[in-house]
Amino acid sequence: MAEEYPLSTPTSDDRTMAILSHILAIVPGVGILGPLVIYLIKKDSQFAGENAKESLNFQITVYLAGIVFWILAMILIGFILLGILAIANFVLVIVATIKASENKIYRYPFNLRLIK
């Protein structure tokens, strides 16, 4: 778990978009789409773009892990892993949201950084 400070103080709009990029990821039915839309809109912003990219990468990681754990559910261990994944996703998104509100760029600990 690492956090970085942006090179300059983010604007109120950038901070709001960074917060939304994290919190929208746990809204049912939104998942990957919230961070993706914000990333596409704000990718040129150092603060909001980096937060949205990190959130998007994390949600892709969670989605891929969910597929693997769902397959493992056939041997019952997957149900436990799916529960742990859901809790970890919720907790880490809340931590990232708090860090974004403190003008920090949060780096998720278990993240495939597919979007560069």
Contact present, 25 and 59 (Cβ < 8 Å) = yes
Domains of the chain, by residue range, sit at: 2-107
| pTM of the predicted model as reported, rounded to 2 decimal places | 0.87
Phi then psi for 52, rounded to 5 degrees? -65, -40
Per-residue confidence of the chain (116 residues) as pLDDT tens digits?
566 666 678 788 899 999 999 999 888 888 889 999 999 998 888 899 999 999 999 999 999 999 999 998 888 888 899 999 999 999 999 999 999 999 988 899 888 888 88
